[in-house]
Amino acid sequence: MINALKKVPLLVPLVLVMAILALSTDTFLSVGNLENVLVAAAILAIPGVAMTFCLAMGEFDLSIGSTVSLAGVACCSALIAGLPLAFSLLAALGVGAFIGLANGLVITKLGVTPFIATLATMVIVRGASLAYTDGHDQIVSSPGLKYLVAGRPLGIPMPIVLAVAVAALAWWTINRTRFGRWVCAIGSNRDAARMSGLPVDRIRIAVYVLVGLSGGLWGLLISGQLQKGNGQLGLGFELDAITVVVLGGTALLGGRASIIGTVLGAVMIETIRNGLNLLNTPPAYQRISVGLLLIAALALLALRRRERRGAGPNRVPARVQESAA
C-alpha cells in the first residue's frame, strides 16, 4: 500500500480533493456527476497518455491543441462533402499523424528544438484550420461521430472504453516492450542512447507521430461532442495534455513514465474543474487553477528528483554490499 502511494503520489491529493467536494457540495457524489467527471477525464487521458511518451523522452509537443482543431475540421468537412464515416474518421487521424510526422522530421532532421518546432507547427496548423474554414463552423449531424463520445457499449461510456484501451496499451508498451525502454533511455541520456546503438531519431519521430495520432482522436471526440469543427477548437489544450502528465509524476526532463499517474492526473484536473463549476466559480478561475497545479506539480517533481538522483555523480557515496552473485 505504501509502495503504491510512493509510485502514484497523486492518489492522496486526489482523494482529498474528492472528499472536500463531497462534503462541500450536494451534487458531486451523484452518479450522473461522477460519470461526467470520468468521461471528461477519459477524453483528456487519451492525449495525456501519448504525451507521456513524449515527456518521458525529455521532449514535449505544443501543437496538439491545434491538431485537435484541424483534425475535427478534416472529419467534419469530409462528412459534409458526403464522404463515408470511416473515411472521415481516418482523415482526422491521418491529419494528426501527418502533423506528428512533420514535427518529428523538423526536430530530428533539421535539428530544431522541440519547443520552437512545435510552437511553430502549433501556429501553422491553427492558421491552416482557420484558413480552411474561413472562420465558419463546419456543422454536422452524424450519429456515427456522436457515438465516439456518447455511445455506451455494454452500458459503459465510449470515451472510458477508449481511454482504458489506450492506457492499457501504453502501459504495456512502456513497461514490456523494447520501444518503451528505448523511449525512457533517450529521455534519460540521449547521447548515451545513441552510443548504445539505439535508432534515436526513428524513435523520436515515432513518438511525435503517436502524439499527433492522439491529437487526431482527441479532435474526433471534441467534434463529436459538439457536432462541429472550427478553427477555434482546442485552444490551450496543449497545456491540459502536458499538465496531466506532469501531475502524474512523469518528469519533464525525461527518463521515466507513469501511465497510471497520467490517468489519475486527468481525473484530478477534471475533478477540480467539476468542483469549481459546482461551486459556481467563473471559467477564468479554472484556467488559473490549472496553471497553479502545473507549477505545484513541477516543484514537487524537482524536489523528488533532487533526492533521487543527487546533484552530482558522487554526491551520496553509496555504501553498498555485494549483492548475491
109 binds another protein per the rule CB under 8 A? no
Among 78, 256, 259, 268, binds another protein (CB under 8 A): 256
111 binds another protein per the rule CB under 8 A? no
Binding residues among 178-207 for another protein as defined by CB under 8 A:
178, 181-182, 184-185, 187-189, 191-199
Among 24, 30, 177, 232, binds another protein (CB under 8 A): 177
Among 2, 110, 284, 325, binds another protein (CB under 8 A): 325
Binding segment (CB under 8 A) for another protein, from list 1-9, 144-152, 254-262, 286-294: 254-262
Cβ neighbours of residue 155 closer than 8 Å, sequence gap 6 or more: none
Query: Which CB, 93 or 107, lies closer to another protein?
Result: 107
Task: Give the Cβ contact number of residue 19 at 10 Å.
Answer: 11
280 binds another protein per the rule CB under 8 A? no
Let me know: does 264 contact 48? Beta carbons within 8 Å.
no
Among 109, 136, 152, 176, binds another protein (CB under 8 A): 176
Kindly tell me the sign of the dihedral angle through the C-alpha atoms of 249, 250, 256, 260. Answer: positive
Element (H, E) at 229: strand 228-229
Query: Which CB, 146 or 194, lies closer to another protein?
Result: 194
Q: Which residue has the cell 525525461?
A: 254
Alpha-carbon distance values, 106 to 115, 185, 242 (Å): 11, 21, 21
> Burial, 110: exposed, middle or buried (Cβ in 10 Å; 0-12, 13-18, 19+)?
exposed
Q: Which residue has the cell 484541424?
A: 70
Q: Residues in the site for another protein, rule: CB under 8 A? A: 172, 176-178, 181-182, 184-185, 187-189, 191-199, 251, 254-256, 308-310, 312-323, 325
